[in-house]
Structure 1
Amino acid sequence: MKLYSIKSNPGDVSYFSILNETDKGYFIRICHDKEGYEKISEE
């Protein structure tokens, strides 16, 4: 799965990944890394 960077505020990290593509568009997951929060990933 590819990750794409999203332009965000300086110091913030945001990205999205494409979960599924249909004839009407895409299903995506948007993630924001925030300082002070535990990082959890879904596999």
Structure 2
Amino acid sequence: MDAVVISYRRGRRTQNTYQMVIQPEGTKTKADAEKLIGKKVE
């Protein structure tokens, strides 16, 4: 599965580069995203 990095998980002043917020290709709704929980991203 391919995805695009939207941003990194962050706090007010810190950014964690090992935790990312991603947008998997082909997902537009929350229901689409729920089907992908636990899958690996390449």
Superposition TM-score, scaled by structure 2 size: 0.28
Specify which structure has the higher proportion of strand.
1
Larger RCO (CA within 8 A; separation ≥ 6): 2
Q: Which has the larger radius of gyration?
A: 1
Specify which structure has the higher proportion of helix.
2
